[in-house]
Amino acid sequence: MKNIIVFSIFKKIVIFLILISISSCGNNEAQKKEKFQYKRTKTEQSKQSKSNPSSSEKEIAIIINSDDFSMKFDKKEIIAFSGQKITLTLNHTGKLDKLVMGHNFVLLKKGVNSNEFGIKASSEKENEYIPDGGNQVIVHTKLIGGGESDTISFDAPEKGTYEFICSFPGHYMSMKGKLIIK
């Protein structure tokens, strides 16, 4: 008899929990409004220049997005031609402050080891994680937090492949890519 009473109580608890979980999965408008959304911005480049700019274009615009959680740039490879003027915008589409989840774009000179640079950068908080006065860097954005962006313009270096990273501590391992200059 005692087992039947315990089973009956257990059954009622399970049914109660199932009903609660079903009712909590409903269409809650307040939850939908709280979700963060962002719109990707588009450049005014032609479709051809986005994937492979022609050498006759004197300027190209590049937009790179980063966020709070993926720890990656949305572009792994950028193609440009030697001497082109590059205007690069880095967007941080997340919400976290730059002290917690800051991002930057750092284009390293040829031959600079990104792992060694990243390790050195982690102790350079006062310089926005750019070590050695920037002598290993071609160009970099400022360190930005969620909702911020920074735009830089520079002339593409000589032909070759250059590595770009985020130098915020630990980010250089996964937030990286290549700038290929033809």
Residue 67: closest CA among 102, 118, 99, 105: 102
Give bridge partners of residue 65 from the DSSP assignment.
91
Query: In one letter, which amino acid is 58?
Result: K
Provide the residue-wise pLDDT of the chain in tens; the chain has 182 residues.
666 665 566 666 666 556 555 555 555 444 444 444 444 444 434 344 444 566 668 999 999 999 999 999 999 999 999 999 999 999 999 999 999 999 999 999 999 999 999 999 999 999 999 998 889 999 999 999 999 999 999 999 999 999 999 999 999 999 999 999 99
> Domains in the chain, ordered, with CATH?
51-181 (2.60.40.420)
Q: Rounded distance, CA 115 to CA 174, Å? A: 11
**Two tokens at 73?**
């740039």
Q: Rounded distance, CA 130 to CA 143, Å? A: 10
